[in-house]
Amino acid sequence: MRFPALLALALTLTACANERASEVLPDEASATGIARQAINVVGTPVYAVVKGASCVATGVIAIPAATVFQVTGIPQDRELADETYTTVGRVCGGSYILGAPPEGVPPSQ
């Protein structure tokens, strides 16, 4: 019973990933473009799970650390708290689609 649900979820994720991750650079040959698209479609669910797990692990460490930094009130600890927030934003932010361009970079035409 779980396998069909997981299969449906994986197919839904790959269908969503196919729209943005299928972009091919203009100078790529069609075989390379097809290979890139196939890797992006198949790898997106794995990438999303790994990135999500990394985000949770970072949060488990960062939340208590930021709390301790905030409670102490030492100026150096405020800098460490800011670095903690930046790290969480870097790990958890961005696209969960494999092959998607980084934020701020327009997709290739």
Q: Angle at the Cα of 35 (from 34 to 41), degrees rounded to 5?
A: 90
Q: Which sequence spans correspond to the domains of the chain? A: 2-92
Tens of pLDDT, residues 12-67: 655 555 454 455 566 555 777 788 888 888 888 999 999 999 999 999 999 898 88
For residue 93, give both structure tokens.
């932010």
Query: Which residues contact residue 21 at a Cβ distance below 8 angstroms, ignoring those fewer than 6 apart?
Result: 37, 40, 41, 44, 97, 98, 99, 100
pTM equals 0.60
For residue 50, give both structure tokens.
């790994």
